[in-house]
């Protein structure tokens, strides 16, 4: 039977630029880089120690219906201190679309990658 989700695609306009953002700015690690028989290379990144991987695949990000005035994030990354992580990423040039928002279950902050994919930090209570 099914065990876990292993990959999800993030559509990017430039794989090298996306790889630099996800590794150098966000601090994810490069996992795989393999040519495909008749298309772009298969390129993945992930959080150290986690099996789940993001596939940086050429394409145009889609548009989703908004909630609370914004489209939902395509990727949510867990953190143990949302405010501290926001400050660290801002020092690396990441521009957040919202400050840290508080909810009954925890905190979030949203930002975009260079291709406009919306990402979210999440800290549970």
Q: What is the pLDDT of residues 24-57, one digit of tens each?
A: 999 999 999 998 878 889 899 999 999 999 999 8
The domains found in the chain, sorted by start residue, are 7-58 (3.10.180.10), 75-124 (3.10.180.10)
Please answer whether residues 11 and 115 qualify as being in contact, where contact means their C-beta atoms are separated by less than 8 angstroms.
yes
Angle at 112 between CA 110 and CA 114, to 5 degrees: 165
- The reported pLDDT for the residue numbered 67 is 66
Q: How many CA atoms lie within 13 A of 33 on its CB side?
A: 6
Q: What is the pLDDT of residues 66-107, one digit of tens each?
A: 666 766 678 889 999 999 999 999 999 999 998 899 999 899
Please answer whether residues 40 and 18 qualify as being in contact, where contact means their C-beta atoms are separated by less than 8 angstroms.
no
């Amino acid at each position: 039977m099914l065990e876990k989700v292993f990959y999800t695609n993030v559509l990017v306009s430039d794989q090298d630029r996306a790889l630099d953002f996800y590794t150098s700015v966000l601090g994810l690690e490069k996992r795989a880089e393999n040519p495909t028989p008749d298309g772009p290379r298969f390129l993945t990144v992930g959080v150290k120690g986690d099996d789940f991987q993001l596939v940086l695949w050429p394409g145009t990000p889609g548009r989703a219906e908004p909630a609370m005035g914004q489209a939902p994030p395509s990727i949510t990354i867990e953190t143990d201190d949302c405010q501290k992580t926001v400050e660290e990423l801002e020092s690396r040039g990441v521009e957040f679309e919202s400050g840290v928002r508080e909810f009954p279950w925890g905190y979030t902050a949203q930002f975009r990658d260079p291709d406009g994919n919306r990402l979210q930090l999440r800290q549970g209570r």
